[in-house]
Amino acid sequence: MATAGEMKALKKRLINALLYGPVQVVSYSYNGIRINHADFKRVATAISKNAVHVIVGNVPPDAAAMYVVSGDGENTFFVPKMSYGSVNHEKASIAHEAVHCILDIRKTVVPAITTEVMAYITTGILHMYFAISPRQGKDNLRDDVFMAANKVASIVVDEKRRALDATMPELQELAAAIQNHPNYSMTLGSTFSWGEDGVEGA
């Protein structure tokens, strides 16, 4: 059983991962939907106010972390362990999940593939800034997702093109890689959404 002090420290790591470091310079739009540091700060504030909950556990073995948009107003970050958020690839995953939370707070209902592409653009940018190899070795299909995300990140960071859309070949490659992964098979449904219904108190 986690102590209150351990939970406080975990939340502080999640909050810090959203306020400090390269997440501060993440800035892009996808299909006209903008994401930048002010959005990540909004998620950090929501965690600090307990408008968004943090739970240790319930993460599938092949997932890094999870943000669940639920229909009854309970919006939760699930992380796999109490020490989560200590290392850079975990900080990148926290920012990925935060993108899901941002769209939920804003009630931006888009097809699940759109929110997943946006989340992986963020993952790719942070992997680039943290100088993490896109090959995490979890599984080959996920490596394809990371490689495609890295190519998109290069457009944003190296070429300084911040307005991205689904017609760009690199973005089509990223969407296809995500849809090819069994974890994201529901994103093959062109209208399926996670149901971003808002976060009370955020």
| Burial tier of 170 (Cβ tally within 10 Å: 0-12, 13-18, 19+) | middle
Looking at the Cβ atoms of 7 and 197, the one nearer to Zn ion is: 197
Residue whose pair of structure tokens reads 């306020």 in the numeric block: 19
Q: Write down the least CB distance from residue 144 to Zn ion, Å.
A: 15
Pairing label, strands 66-68, 28-30: unpaired
Task: Tell me the closest approach of the beta carbon of residue 166 to Zn ion, in angstroms.
Answer: 17
Residue closer to Zn ion (CB basis): 2 or 166: 166
What is the 8-class DSSP label of residue 61? T
In whole angstroms, how close is the CB of 194 to Zn ion at the nearest point? 9
Site string for Zn ion, 101-120 (x = CB under 5 A): ------------------x-
Counting beta carbons within 10 angstroms of the beta carbon of residue 164, is it exposed (0 to 12), middle (13 to 18) or buried (19 or more)?
buried
Least separation in angstroms between residue 118's CB and Zn ion is: 9
- State which residue, 47 or 187, has the beta carbon closest to Zn ion: 187
- Asked if residue 145 binds Zn ion (CB under 5 A), the reply is no
Measured from each CB, the residue nearest to Zn ion is 119
Nearer to Zn ion (CB atom), residue 154 or residue 183: 183
Q: Which of these, 154, 183, 38, lies nearest to 105 by C-alpha position? A: 38
Residue 201: helix, strand or coil by DSSP? coil
* Length of the chain in terms of residues written: 202
Say how many Å lie between the first and final Cα of the chain, rounded: 28
Please, what is the minimum distance in Å from the beta carbon of residue 5 to Zn ion? Answer: 30
Residues found near Zn ion in the complex (CB under 5 A) = 119
